[in-house]
Amino acid sequence: MSSDEDGESREVELSHKQKLEIAKWFLMNSPPGEIQYVAKDVKAVLKDENVYAAAAAEAFPLYNKSHMICLQLPDRSGDVLITSFSEIREDEYLDPRTAQVAVVDHAKQTCVEVRPASDEELPSAYVEEYRAALDAETSKYVSEAYPKGVCSVYATSGKYVEEPGSDFELVVVILASRHSPQNFCNGSWQSIWNVVFKDELHIVELRGKLQVGAHYFEEGNVQLDGKHECKDSTVFQSPDDCAVSVVNMIRHHETEYLTSLQTSYSNLSDTTFKDLRRKLPVTRTLFPWHNTMQFNLTRDISKELGIGK
């Protein structure tokens, strides 16, 4: 009699492609700063070096760029951010501040080599004047606003413009991460600001995309993924004046978003948490909403409600 006739379930072997896609999904969806931990578990579960190597080769570059990880240059002359804006080739990334190109090992998340950037990889002297001024002003702001924050400014479209009269675009990237796995908590802040210099209209347009992510996993799994977009504009001025105006707008919008996040989460006990459960739980005891901030997520709430014993 066959196993089907016995009503027993038959284990279905996944194809190479299915294993590859599943492994890639887990790697690419790792929380901030945790892909190496996830990779170790994925490799152990797969028990197939070829599938893991193929998945890692595809997932790590995408993960590193989406999380804009920061790597130290081999000669310790500075840091390089792994972003789509700094990418020259899949394993080469420009650090515009030092005019160097870092060769990256994506799977190990390290810089293995560094070389001088060529003239073709750098903006014109005219655009560089605006880029350098904005980079200096942004660095000053980030050092004040974000502990261990890093930033970089890239020239994108119109980077070879030689003189006034044409439009060009710069991109400001800001990253602040805090990885503390020993305390079961990792998180990151990243913002991308497209700064478009429109010479004919004599204005500078600003478009921002802000994202905050956090993962708390002490005896549980709580994740935050917040996103926000905004825009603004200022007058096209000298490089130094433009830099000050643009960074003031960035400071205003980021402070406003952070304040809104703090307000939102300080009111969780009166809004979202109440909506997540019924008015009277199965214990027939009202939940003490006025005191939620004092409880440990798993231990103290269980004790207060008399459950989990």
Kind and range of the H or E element at 273?
helix 272-275
Q: Find the distance separating the first CA and the last CA of the chain, reported in whole Å.
A: 46
Domain with CATH 3.30.1140.60 in the chain: 70-116
What contacts 17, CB < 8 A, 6 or more positions away?
none
Q: Say how far residue 210 (Cα) sits from the centre of its chain.
A: 9
At the topology level, CATH places domain 70-116 in Ribosomal protein S3 C-terminal domain (3.30.1140)
Calculate mean pLDDT across residues 71-80: 86
pLDDT at position 1 = 45
Calculate mean pLDDT across residues 231-259: 96
Interior CA angle at 271 toward 264 and 217, to 5°? 70
Characterise 179 by phi-psi region: left (phi > 0), alpha (psi -120 to 50), beta (else).
beta
Instruction: Decide if pLDDT at 111 tops 60.
Output: yes
Q: Does domain 123-266 have CATH number 1.10.1760.20?
A: no
Residue with tokens 């700094």: 86
pLDDT at position 75 = 77
Calculate mean pLDDT across residues 132-140: 97
Instruction: Decide if pLDDT at 160 tops 70.
Output: yes
What percent of the chain has a predicted confidence (pLDDT) above 70? 83
pLDDT at position 59 = 95
Instruction: Decide if pLDDT at 307 tops 70.
Output: no
pLDDT at position 78 = 83
Nearest to 189 by CA among 106, 96, 257: 257
pLDDT at position 127 = 97
Q: 96: pLDDT confidence band, cut at 50, 70 and 90?
A: very high
Distance, in Å, from the CA atom of 137 to the CA atom of 251, rounded to the nearest integer, reads 11
Instruction: Decide if pLDDT at 3 tops 60.
Output: no
pLDDT tens-digit series, residues 10-31: 567 888 889 999 999 999 998 8
Distance, in Å, from the CA atom of 20 to the CA atom of 14, rounded to the nearest integer, reads 10
pLDDT tens-digit series, residues 172-226: 999 998 888 787 888 889 999 999 999 999 999 999 999 988 888 877 788 878 8
Instruction: Decide if pLDDT at 123 tops 80.
Output: yes
Instruction: Decide if pLDDT at 7 tops 50.
Output: no
Calculate mean pLDDT across residues 216-243: 89
Domain with CATH 3.90.1150.210 in the chain: 123-266
Q: 275: pLDDT confidence band, cut at 50, 70 and 90?
A: low
